Structure 1
Amino acid sequence: MQGKNTVKDWDENILFSPFTKQEWRSYQQKKINEGRKTELIFKITYANKTAVKGARLYIKQLTSDFHWGCGMTHRILNNEAYKNWFASKFTAADFHNELKWYYTEKIQGQENYTDPDAMLKFADENGIIVRGHTILWDDIKYQQKWVKALSPEKLLEAANKRVDSVVKRYKGRLVGWDVMNENLHHHFFEKRLDKNASATFYNRVYNIDPDTTLYMNEFNTTEHVNDKDAPPNKYLRKLKEIQLYPGNGGIKMGIGLESHYGAEPIDLHYVRSSLSLLSQAGLPIWLTELDVIYLEEILRESFSHAAVKAIIIWTGASIDGCDVMCMTNEKLENTPVGDLIDRLMEEWRTGDIELVADSNGSSEVSVFNGRYEITVVDPVTNASTCVSFKIDKVSIPNKNIHLQILG
C-alpha cells in the first residue's frame, strides 16, 4: 500500500499512450522553454563603444515570475522552526481555514481576526504573497448554523457585512481573493438570494478593493473528466457571466484550480487539454490546493503551461496533518514528496551563471523569467558594472542587452 509521503510511479503504457514518456517530456520542455524562459544576447562595450573581449558576466536570479506556494495554518504562529522552513522555500501561501467566514465569525457579531492578522504579518515580513481564501463559500455544509438560520433578507445583510469586514481589513495586502468558493458545484447563496448572487458579491469586493485580482476557485475542473458540474467550458462560462454582470467590466479576474487529484488514476491528456483551454482566457491560473499521489507528472504538466503562475502545495509539513501528501515529517525532515519538490524547484530556476564574452564582446544565454542582478567585469582592470532588471519576453522583446563597463 502506498503511504501518504511516497511518490508513486505511473504505468507508462496508460499515462502517456499513444506517446512515449520521452515524447511527452520533450513537448513539456519545449513549452517551458517557450513560455517560461527568455533567450538573451549580451553585448559588452566600453564607453567609447569598443567591444570588451573576455568580459566576465555574473548572472544571479533574484526572483522568479513563477511562485511556489504552500498551505499555511495557525500552527505556524508558535513554531519558529516551521516558520523558518516555510520562509526558506515558498513565496506564496494560502491559509487553510483562517480567513474563512466560519473561522472569523463563529458566533454572529463576534469577529476574531487574531490568527489571520498574525499569519499575514509573518508572510509580509518574509516576502510571501497571500491569497484571500475565501470570502464566501457556496457549499451549505460550511455555513455556520446561525447563517443557515437567517431569512434571505438577513442573509444578504450578514453576507454583505462579512464582505465589507474582511475585504476592507486586508485591502491591498493580498495577491488575490477567492470571492465565492466552489460556485459551480454548490449554490447556497444563489438558492437563498438570487441567481446572480456570485456576480453581485464579486461586484461588492471589486468596489472595495479594485486593484486586487478576484478568483473563481473550483475542484474537478482538471482532475476528473467525468465531473459534469465544473469542466473547463462551464468554468469559463461562469467566469464570463461574472464579468458581464453590470458594473463588473473592470474586474481583474483569475482562475483558481484546487487540484485535489488525490490518489486516483489521472487522465493526463485531459489535464493538458483542460489547462490549454483555460489558458486561452488570457487570465492568471493558480493551482491553489494541490494534493496528489502522482505528483511529478502533474507538476511537470502544469508548469509547462505558461498561464499557470503559481502552484500551492496544500500540505507542506505533517504538523498540519496529511491528506494525500506531505513534504516533511513532524521534525520538518523531507519525505520523498519533499525531495521531489526540492528537485523541481532547483530545476525550474536559473542557478548562478558565469559567462565570458567573445571577441565581439557578446555572450548568449537562456534564463527563466524573473528579476536578475547582472555584474560585468573588465578582464584587464577588473572594473565592474552591476545592474538589476526584469527579464522576460515582454521586458526584453528583441533578446539584446547592452551593458557598458565604466571606468
Structure 2
Amino acid sequence: MELSNWMLTVPNEISYRDDFSNEKPRIAMQQQRQVQTVNGFDENTLFSPYTKQEWRSYQHKKINEGRKTQLNFIITYPNKTAVKGAKIHIKQLTSDFHWGCGMTHRILNNPAYKKWFASKFTAADFHNELKWYYTEPHPGQENYTDPDTMLKFADKHGIIVRGHTVLWDDVKYQQKWVKKLSPEKLLQAANKRVDSIVKRYKGRLVGWDVMNENLHHNFFEKRLGKNASAIFYNRVYNIDPNTTLYMNEFNTTEHVNDKWAAPEKYLRRLKEIRTYPGNSGMKMGIGLQCHYGADPIDLHYVRNSLSLLSQVGLPIWLTELDVKMDPALENKSQLQVIYLEEILRESFSHASVKAIIIWTGASIDGCDVMCMTNEKLENTPVGDLIDRLMEEWKTGNIEVVSDSNGISQVSVFNGRYEVTVVDPLTNVSSRVTFKVDKVSLPDKNIHLQILV
C-alpha cells in the first residue's frame, strides 16, 4: 500500500510509526499476525503494515484523548470535611457525539418506524424531501407538506436535522423546467428557491448543505459564473446567519484516485467560499458523504484525509455513510459488517467528527446498499454492529464511591450528566447536572457538598 506521496501533504502525520509506542520491526510484526479470513479474505489488508490490535489500540488512544474527560469528584460536608464512602451515581443525559440516520416521508404513517427511529438517533438527514426537485417539481408549485411534518416529528423527539440540500450542482437532478431556463431566469429561480426554503426553516436546522457536490459538478457555475456557489452561500448566510453552512461531497475519504474531491481540493474550495466578499463571518462545516464500495477500505487514506480536514478546526459530519457490497460475493454480508466497523471506528477516533449519519436505517426506506433492519424492524447484522458501537461509545449509568479523602475519579464520554451524591451515614442525597468537556471543565474537578 503506497502512502508516501499522500503523506507528504499532511503536516504532523509524516509517519504512522510515530503513532505506536511499542513499534517492532515490520518482519517481526508480520510473523505475529493473527489472520482472520472470510472465504479467503485477509482482514489484515485493512491494517498493513500494522496488526489489527495495534491499529485498534491507537484508535482507543485517540478516543480517550478527544472524546472523554477524566473527572475528579471531590465530596465534602459544608465544613469542608471530606466524605468517605459517598456513593456517586452518574447518569449520562446526552452525548456530544450524534448518531444519526437517513429519514424519508415513509416514516410519517408508520408508528413502529417512528418509535424505532426516535429510540436510537439524535440526528437526521432527509433523503429527498428538502431537495428542490421534491418541493417544487413544477415552476411556482411549491409543496413543503412532507418536510414540515417530518421536522415536526424530529422536533418532538429532540432529533436535530440537517438541511439537505438547498441547491445541487449536478445537472442530473435539476427539474426539466430548470434546465431550460436562461441564465437570467435561472438566477431568479435559484434565488427564489434559496429564499423560500431558508426563510421557512430559519433557525430550526442544525446546518444547511448549500450547494451539494460542487467539487464534482458545476451546473450553476457553468451558467452563472465561477463564483455561483460562493454567492449562494452568501445569500443563505444573510438569511440564516447563525446556522452552520456545509459543503457536502463524496469520495473525499472513500477513493484515493478521485481527482475531483481529494481533501486538499475540498479545503481549497472551502477557502474560496469563506474568503468571498461578505462571507468572512460565516459558520461553516465539512460534510463528507462516505459512500464506501466493495473493495477493502484504505484506512491509511481515511485517517490521513480526516487528519488533514480536521486541521481547519471546523466540525465534520459524515452525512450519508454506507458500505456497498458486490452482490456476486458469497460472503458479502460478512464483509459489509467488517468494512463498516473499521470505518466507523476510524471515524470516531477523530474528535472533529461530530456526527455520523447512517444511510439507510429501516428497510421501509429501501435496502439497495445497506440497512439496519428488515421489514419487521428486526436488526440485520449491520444493525447489530451499530447497536453494539452505540453502547460502547456512551458512558451510560455508573456508580463510584469516594475514598478517605472524599475523592473519586472516573473517565466519561463528553456530554451532559446528572450526578447524585448519597451520604453514607444519613442517605441524604444531593443532585446536580453539568456539561462535561475540556472547555466546560478545564481543571476536570467537580466539587460537591452533602448538606446535613
- 1:153 aligns to what? 184
Check conservation: 2:125, 2:163, Cα contact below 8 A: yes
Q: Which amino acid aligns with 2:340?
A: L
Letter in 2 for 1:383: V
CA distance in 2, matches of 1:9, 1:405: 61
Deviation at 1:10, TM superposition (A): 6.2
| Pairing 1:285–2:330 present | no
- Which residue of the other structure, out of 127, 130, 135, is the alignment partner of 2:161? 130
1:336 aligns with 381
Q: Is the 8 A contact 2:45 2:296 kept in 1?
A: no
Which TM-score applies when normalising by structure 1?
0.97
> What CA distance in whole angstroms lies between the structure 2 residues aligned with 1:10 and 1:119?
42
The answer to whether 1:74 aligns with 2:105 is yes
Partner SS, residue 112 of structure 1: coil
1:382 aligned onto 2:413: no
Of residues 369-378 and 394-403 in structure 1, the stretch that sits farther from structure 2 once superposed is 394-403
Please give the alpha-carbon distance, in whole angstroms, between the structure 2 residues aligned to 1:10 and 1:249: 49
Question: How far apart, in 2, do the equivalents of 1:134 and 1:8 lie?
Answer: 41
Instruction: Find the aligned partners of 2:379 and 2:364 in 1 and give their Cα distance.
Output: 13
In 2, the alpha carbon distance for the partners of 1:313 and 1:379 equals 45
Report how far residue 323 of structure 1 moved: 2.5
AA aligned to 2:81 is T
Q: Deviations over 1:351-406 (max 9, x none)?
A: 21111100000000000000000000100011111000000111111111100111
Counterparts of residues 12-161 of structure 1 (less than 5 Å) = 12-161=43-192
1:228-267 to 2 correspondence within 5 Å? Answer: 228-267=259-298
- How far has the Cα of 1:240 moved from its partner? 0.4
CA shift at 1:31, angstroms? 0.1
Q: Deviations over 1:188-233 (max 9, x none)?
A: 0000001000000000000000000000000000000000000000
Comparing 395-404 with 105-114, which one deviates more in the overlay?
395-404
Residue in 2 that maps onto 1:300: 345
C-alpha separation in 1, matches of 2:395 and 2:356: 18
Structure 1 position 350 matched with structure 2 position 395: yes
SS in 2 for 1:93: strand
Aligned residues of 1:41 and 1:400 also touching (Cα < 8 A): yes
Q: 2:198 aligns with which of 167, 170, 173?
A: 167
AA partner of residue 308 (structure 1): V
The higher relative CO (CA closer than 8 Å, separation ≥ 6) is in 1
My pick for the range that moved more, 390-399 or 64-73, is 390-399
8 Å contact kept, 1:46–1:405:
yes
Partners of 1:98 and 1:324 lie apart in 2 by 20
Deviates more, 1:94-103 or 1:350-359: 350-359
Matched-pair contact (CA < 8 Å) for 1:255–1:284: yes
- Pairing 1:214–2:245 present: yes
Provide the identity percentage.
85
Give the letter for the 1:74 counterpart.
H
Question: Where does residue 4 of structure 1 map in the other structure?
Answer: none
Go from structure 1 to structure 2 and tell me whether the alpha carbon gap of 1:8 and 1:146 turns closer, same or farther (over 3 Å shift).
farther
What SS class does the counterpart of residue 165 from structure 2 fall into?
coil
CA distance in 2, matches of 1:22, 1:370: 28
In the other structure, the counterpart of 1:184 is 215
* Partners of 1:263 and 1:324 within 8 A in 2: no
d(CA) in 2 for partners of 1:120, 1:348: 27
SS at structure 1 position matched to 2:409: strand
Equivalent-residue separation in structure 2 for 1:8 and 1:337 (angstroms): 19
- Listed one character per residue, the Cα deviations across residues 65-116 of structure 1 (whole Å, up to 9, x for unaligned) are 0000000000000000000000000000000000000000000000000000
Listed one character per residue, the Cα deviations across residues 105-156 of structure 1 (whole Å, up to 9, x for unaligned) are 0000000000000000000000000000000000000000000000000000
Contact preservation (8 Å) 2:69, 2:413: yes
- Cα distance in 1 between the residues matched to 2:116 and 2:140: 36
Unaligned segments of structure 2, at least 5 residues: 1-37, 324-335
Q: Distance in 2 between matches of 1:48 and 1:211?
A: 46
The Cα shift of 1:58 comes to 0.1
Is the Cα–Cα contact under 8 Å of residues 102 and 143 in structure 1 kept in the other structure? yes
Aligned to 1:319: 364
Q: State how far apart, in whole Å, the 2-side matches of 1:183 and 1:308 are.
A: 21
Aligned to 2:22: none
Cα distance, 1:325 vs. partner? Answer: 1.1
CA distance 1:355–1:121, change in 2 (3 Å): same
Q: How many residues align?
A: 401
Q: Which moved more, 1:368-377 or 1:264-273?
A: 264-273
Distance 1:8 1:383, change over 3 A: farther
TM-score normalised over the length of structure 2: 0.88
| 8 A contact 1:262–1:324 mirrored in 2 | no
Runs of 4+ more than 6 Å apart: 7-10
